[in-house]
Amino acid sequence: MKQFFNLIFLFFFVIQTAFGQQAAEHIRILASPEFHGRGYYKNGDRKAAEYIRKQFINYGLQPINGSYFQPFTFPVNTFPGKMKVVAGNTLLSPGRDFIVSPSCPGIKGTFELAYLTSIDQVFESNSLNSKFLVVDKSAFPDSLSTKIDSIIKSPPSCKGLIILEPKKLTWSVSGKVNERAVIRILTASWPQKTTTITLNIQNKLISEYHSQNVMGMIPGTTNKDSFIVFTAHYDHLGRMGKEALFAGANDNASGTSMILELAKFYAQPQNRPAKSLLFIAFAGEEAGLIGSKYYTQQPPLPLGNIRFLLNLDLMGNGEEGMMVVNGEIHPEEFALLEKINSEKQLLPVIGKRGKAANSDHYWFSEKGVPAFFFYTTGGSKAYHDIDDLPGVIRLAEFEDVQTLIKEFVQQTGQ
């Protein structure tokens, strides 16, 4: 009998290990250097879209109106070339020591520096026109942070801004180019008493970048015109210059991996629910929820046919549990999540929030589609930085979240 139970344990261990390996492999591939952070350098997002489409085809998902792609365009500022910053005589590392603002223009040359030493500091007229103003956040108490942020947002006339960040560098995406260069540098990387900054930064504004949402469908067994929808954004920030890679393993290769695993599961005939299932991997989320907005403006399938939408992001960890945006708006469905979680003893805790425009569920909610946005908490703090790599993804609650989703669908998908 003991030998029997040992075999059973080994069987489930092998199954669980294989499951984890499949999810981790999707994350590894999507966050690999070959996909260039799924951004706008060498069509990184297009390569990711092709990978997702291939998985949908392999699993047997059907295209929507004859295509797995929904193309659209949007403007984006990119940095495909030089990314050089020298503080005094110290060469700084892109992504590690500094980031440029997403709307930074191209700029080249050596510039003198002026330091902000007081929030009431007055500069002589035109004295900063050819200089960079240095704002060291750590030089001011936290009580003045709001005023410092106000100065950064509306600085005196100057060539550009150097903002010394005491804690972390967090990058993003912009669809425009500002006149003034803004560079954020870690305080610990800034040489004291530096008087000059040498820059060689190259940008390229693409006014109509061609991207695409990726879609696939599994018809329901009986109620084919009613849908449960799974969404995740597959794009990330790309590259800042050729060296700094923002791989986006947790954000959001992990959520993309989750919908791929769900698609594979539900594609098996014995797992199909009564309602149809629609899987959408959105582009342009990091640029302002652009892909999901476009989808809701040009829906290939009627939005009114969606019974519920589950948007998945930051699925890589979960040691502290999971947060549900719109949990306060849909109390009945949230109560069902809590019931399932308690009965199955899955996640440590499921928290709830109200309405928030912080991911792709938002535009659907605005159109009256009932939707939840799931994201896990705990684990690595890497976010919108060069440290969000596959190696920090533990998938601590990945399987439990998937179990929660499957049970939720089973009870709402009939």
pLDDT digits over 61-91, tens only?
999 999 999 999 999 999 999 999 999 999 9
318 contact partners, CB below 8 Å, separation of at least 6: 347, 376, 377, 378, 379, 396, 397, 398, 400, 401
- What DSSP string describes 48-80? HHHHHHHHHHHHTPBPBTTBSEEEEEEEEEEB-
The sign of the dihedral angle between the CA atoms of 32, 172, 51, 388 is positive
Q: Which two tokens stand for residue 35?
A: 């996909």
Rounded to a whole number of angstroms, the distance between the first and last alpha carbons of the chain is 40
Q: Residue 338: phi, psi to the nearest 5?
A: -65, -40
Q: Which residues of the chain have pLDDT under 70?
A: 1-20, 413-414
Residue with tokens 């002589």: 124
pLDDT of residue 3: 54
pLDDT of residue 13: 38
Residue with tokens 């984890």: 20
Within 13 Å, how many C-alpha atoms sit on residue 399's CB side? Answer: 14
336 contact partners, CB below 8 Å, separation of at least 6: 408, 411, 412
pLDDT of residue 9: 39
pLDDT of residue 368: 98
Q: Which domains does the chain carry?
A: 24-76+206-412 (3.40.630.10), 82-201 (3.50.30.30)
Given the DSSP bridges, would you call strands 196-201 and 350-352 parallel, antiparallel or unpaired?
Answer: unpaired
pLDDT of residue 412: 87
Q: Which two tokens stand for residue 67?
A: 């295509």
Q: Which two tokens stand for residue 85?
A: 């910053």
pLDDT of residue 126: 87
What's the chain's Rg over C-alpha atoms?
Answer: 24
> What is the C-alpha to C-alpha distance for residues 61 and 262, in angstroms, rounded to an integer?
12
DSSP state of 33: G
